[in-house]
Structure 1
Amino acid sequence: MRRHTVVFLCFLLFSSFGFSGEEAAENARVLFKPPSFLAGAAFAKVESECSMLEELQASLVSSANDFGLEIEFLGEKANTTTGRFVQVDLVEVNGNVWRFGALRPHSNAKYRVSIFDNGQLVRSDERALNSSVAIGTCARLEKISKAFGRPIMKWVFLNIRGDDVAFSSSAILESNDAMAIREVARKLYNNADFNESLLDAAAQKIWSEKNTKDKLMTDALAWLCKYIGASKNPRYRSFLESLEASLKRGKLKKYAKSALKNLPDVTPSVEPYVVNNEVAEKPKQD
């Protein structure tokens, strides 16, 4: 049974790239130090025979896009004492593990993902995965590495705080992950983060997916309606009225109607929210 440790650092440097609200449609860039094995002769065979690092790196790049992020890789020498960065450790990798009654071994691995701010640990999480389907140690380990990318990037996306959360407006628009959208909606609602760029992104997502048949997506949109209602921002009243009128029945219509009760009437000084380049006007009364 082999054990290896892999460490790599992910640096989230949004401000250095001049990220701003005007660029919200662009993916926020994340700088990564390429994954690497810790120095040591014991790792040479795995590094030469298996492609764990390559699969992990490719999985991170692919998964980042689902959460409104874009990865760029740094050189080996980078300052980790200042700024905000994410450190991901493959803390345990076991190539061949036998279980009683099994016809062939399985492999398992565990990662730890941690957020650091100016060298101080802010929060962390761990997760382990197994693989027994693929034949061959390297095939199983590479499959695990590929599967790590999505949960890592999702966790990073949901746990970055402060000004960095501005990129979530882009992610809400671009992501098709209903579970991630729902978690973002809950996070914004619970944090009472009613920045209009985020509210606009939430409204656009609701409008673009309002006819979905997917129950999980409908649940996510309902949370976004709840979030908009909690803002008490009259800018979105006409939008919610149009949304409710466009739906015949169902959960989303119910939540749109409920959210409307929290929004005051629009005054001449309030600019109504614009969706799909058209003002979401209040439905005409018969």
Structure 2
Amino acid sequence: MAFITVASVLLCACNSSPKQQTNPSNPVEQNNKAISLTLDTVDFASDTAGAKVKVECLMLERLTTAILKSSQRYPLVVKERIAGVAQTEFVLKATYTNVNAHRWVFPSLRPSSSATVKAEILKNDQVVATISKEIGSGAAFGACDRLEKIALAGGRYISKWAAKQNYN
């Protein structure tokens, strides 16, 4: 009888404690106000990728889309540059500096791909912050599929990096 009384008291006491409230919002959003960035045209550096990669693969489009979509998770307002429209104070520029469509990595039985993307934040045409990241993939069978997957990962990385910068 005493056991049942103690057990019921413990259960009631545990259930009566106030529940902790969870805040599902991103902690980055709570601390910072939204920063407006203009996304400059994404491009390849000279002699970076072969003509076939530039024509057949959608790396540039995928990187642009990934930056625009993933920036919505952070306190960023990223808009594409439109000719004739005034740009924001800060400009985000992304460039592929190295693209390797087929590389063999030991002990892999199939080729993989890698690409290095460089991102810069400019203010009045002066570089405020820069980063370079090499991303590789071997998860898709075709070279373009791998490179487009790399572009999506690069866009997410650039958005997260841009959200962490100091814009003061």
Q: Which residue of 2 aligns with 1:257?
A: none
Where does the alignment leave 5 or more consecutive residues of structure 2 unmatched? 1-32
1:153 equivalent to 2:159? Answer: yes
Q: Which moved more, 1:130-139 or 1:120-129?
A: 120-129
1:108 equivalent to 2:114? Answer: yes
Q: Which residue of 2 aligns with 1:214?
A: none
- Contact 2:37–2:91 under 8 Å retained in 1: no
Correspondent of 2:38 among 23, 31, 49: 31
Identity of aligned residues (%): 31
Normalised TM-score (structure 1)? 0.42
Cα gap change, 1:79 to 1:37, in 2 (>3 Å): farther
Task: Report the CA distance between 1:27 and its aligned residue.
Answer: 5.4
The structure with more helix, counted as a fraction of residues:
1
Letter of the structure 2 residue corresponding to residue 57 of structure 1: T
Correspondent of 1:45 among 43, 52, 55: 52
Please give the residue correspondences for 1:168-179 in structure 2 after superposition, counting only pairs within 5 Å: none
1:94 equivalent to 2:83? Answer: no
Q: Distance in 1 between matches of 2:119 and 2:159?
A: 10
Cα gap change, 1:70 to 1:95, in 2 (>3 Å): same
SS in 1 for 2:60: helix
SS in 2 for 1:56: helix
RMSD of equivalent CA atoms: 2.9
1:125-180 CA distance string (max 9 Å, x none):
22111100100100000000011111101111111321xxxxxxxxxxxxxxxxxx
Please give the residue correspondences for 1:184-223 in structure 2 after superposition, counting only pairs within 5 Å: none
1:74-93 CA distance string (max 9 Å, x none):
2367899x943232221111
- Contact 2:63–2:152 under 8 Å retained in 1: yes
1:56 equivalent to 2:63? Answer: yes
- Contact 1:95–1:137 under 8 Å retained in 2: yes
SS in 1 for 2:139: coil
SS in 2 for 1:88: strand
Normalised TM-score (structure 2)? 0.67
| Greater RCO, 1 or 2 (C-alpha within 8 Å, sep 6+) | 2
Where does the alignment leave 5 or more consecutive residues of structure 1 unmatched? 1-25, 163-286
Q: Which residue of 2 aligns with 1:130?
A: 136
Cα gap change, 1:32 to 1:122, in 2 (>3 Å): closer
SS in 2 for 1:159: coil
Q: Which residue of 2 aligns with 1:207?
A: none
Cα gap change, 1:159 to 1:57, in 2 (>3 Å): same
Letter of the structure 2 residue corresponding to residue 103 of structure 1: L
Letter of the structure 2 residue corresponding to residue 96 of structure 1: H
